[in-house]
Homo-oligomer: A and B are copies of this chain.
Amino acid sequence: MEAVIKQERNLCITHILPIRDALDILSGKWKIPIIVALCVHKRRFKELHRDVQGITAKMLSKELKELELNKLVKRTVHDTSPVTVEYSITEYGHSLTPVINELRDWGMKHRDKIIYHPEEA
């Protein structure tokens, strides 16, 4: 075994690569908000456009494409006229729930302590 993982106390240890993988998939301004919106219920493009506040159609389209390629989101085209497209979270996408919950918990617990946001500098 090349890399031995030491699990001492509650320390966060080595194995940075899987963390980077996760971060890569979730990177960007909109991926998590889109996933959160879709966790509530499946959505059409325009509905998502309203739900995810501030996003442009271009970014929504682009982010959905990446999420779909990563199998986190499923795109279903209904052959009505005009076409309706439905986006839903996959089981795989759902497996992100613990991560998102931890992020939200941390964000809520420590919101008051936040002193500095890079983008406000």
Contacts and interface: CB of A to CB of B under 8 A. Distances in A.
A83 interface: no
A13 interface: yes
Given A11-B39, A12-B36, A32-B23, A70 B106 contact: no
Given A16-B33, A21-B114, A33-B20, A98 B107 contact: no
Interface residues of A, number: 54
Nearest to A39: B12
A64 interface: no
A50 to B, nearest CB: 14
Nearest to A101: B12
Given A11-B97, A24-B117, 18 more contacts: A11-B40, A12-B104, A14-B36, A17-B107, A18-B103, A18-B104, A18-B108, A19-B33, A20-B32, A20-B33, A20-B107, A21-B111, A22-B104, A22-B106, A25-B114, A28-B118, A70-B115, A98-B102
